[in-house]
Amino acid sequence: MENILKIIDKVPNYITDHEVGKFPQNRSVAELLDLGIINLDKPANPTSHEVTAWVKRILGIVKAGHGGTLDPAVTGCLPIALGRATRALRILLLAEKTYICVMKSHAPVSRELLLSILDNFKGKIYQTPPLRSNIKRKLRVRRIYDLKMLDHYPNSQLSLLRISCEAGTYIRKLTHDIGLLLGTGAHMQELRRIKTGPFSEKTCVTLQDLRDAWYYYKMEGNETFIRKMIQPVEIICQNIPKLFIRDSAVDAICHGAALTLPGVVRVTEGIEKNSLIAIFTMKEELIAFGQSILSTKEILTLSNGICARTNTVFMEKKTYPSMWKAS
């Protein structure tokens, strides 16, 4: 797993027991089917729910969920979590998204005018969800992190835009509002999501890819292809502040216990009080999500007390030996 945030040792030279637990990359295919993510390239026309149902049918699993709905006509990154990994989907639902959009203005506009108008939509914008959405229609604030014009064709009235935005931003509504400022009207003609959180279209796989890989695995015993398609759930946590804990503290966290400072071995930068954190083993296995009680600086300097409370557990109980007593 790639850690975006800097890791700082609280207990230098700690050595984990390699007889218990397992590095995520060493999980069996069966384990990945219960704790993995597929970055699917959603095709046009089916709903996100239908695509997720097809993935379950191909893999013969009971539980799967997708990380952020795409309209039927929209293509691109649709991360699908398998089994217990569905508990992590709330992270993807809140993650930054990036889209490539074909916008059609209702009359020709110059490149210069369009560029000047796009500048007005960078930063905070106000949106009311469209009529056909399932969200309550009330004015809300969303953030556009980046908005670039990749190409512009005045004669055909088409523009190619790249949009990086906060989760929950309606691109169809955004293009409509751009059209209002242009004075010509405009609409979204085509849309593709190229990034959601840590998943990009560079690692997308198609339904046919998945079906073929599953065939090689089930019929020929070849795991090579299916392993390339199912990523460990830990990839979701790249940008989340983390605590790495002692082997002896793991099972208590699996039972929902609070994490105390003596159990912490490493900590990443960026932990703030009352913020979301991920709790990991020293083999970089995701144990649970929690809420921090202390900041990174306090965790590194203090020696006793509770530093985080557990709220969502991923690891099975007794994966690591129990070394605590329930009260």
- pLDDT tens for the chain, 327 residues: list them: 566 789 999 999 999 999 999 999 999 999 999 999 999 999 999 999 999 999 999 999 999 999 889 999 999 999 999 999 999 998 888 899 999 999 999 999 999 999 999 999 999 999 987 666 656 668 889 999 999 999 999 999 999 999 999 998 999 999 999 999 999 999 999 999 999 999 999 999 999 999 999 999 999 999 999 999 999 999 999 889 999 999 999 999 999 999 999 999 999 999 999 999 999 999 999 999 999 999 999 999 999 999 999 999 999 999 999 876 554
Q: Tokens 């004015």 label which residue?
A: 139
Please tell me the predicted confidence (pLDDT) of residue 48: 96
Helix or strand holding residue 175 (H, E):
helix 171-182
CATH code of the domain made up of 34-93+199-229 = 3.30.2350.10
Please tell me the predicted confidence (pLDDT) of residue 327: 46
298-311 burial, b for 16+ CB within 10 Å, e for fewer? bbbeeeeeebbbbe
Please tell me the predicted confidence (pLDDT) of residue 132: 63
Helix or strand holding residue 75 (H, E):
strand 75-83
> How do the domains of the chain map onto residue ranges?
7-24+234-313, 34-93+199-229, 97-196
Helix or strand holding residue 178 (H, E):
helix 171-182
Nearest one of 115, 178, 167 to 144, comparing CA atoms: 167
Name the CA radius of gyration of the chain, rounded.
23
Q: What pTM was estimated for this model as a whole? A: 0.90
CATH code of the domain made up of 7-24+234-313 = 2.30.130.10
Please tell me the predicted confidence (pLDDT) of residue 94: 86
Residue type, 280: F
Strands 286-292 and 276-280: antiparallel
What phi, psi does 255 have (nearest 5°)?
Answer: -90, 5
Which one of the listed residues 71, 151, 212, 247 is annotated catalytic? 71
Burial class (CB in 10 A: 0-12, 13-18, 19+), 203: middle
Sequence-distant contacts of 112-115: CB under 8 A, at least 24 apart: 113/182, 114/149, 114/152, 114/159, 114/182, 115/149
Catalytic residue flag (residue 71): yes
The architecture that CATH gives domain 97-196 is 2-Layer Sandwich (3.30)
Please tell me the predicted confidence (pLDDT) of residue 323: 77
Count Cα atoms within 13 angstroms, Cβ side, for 122.
Answer: 12
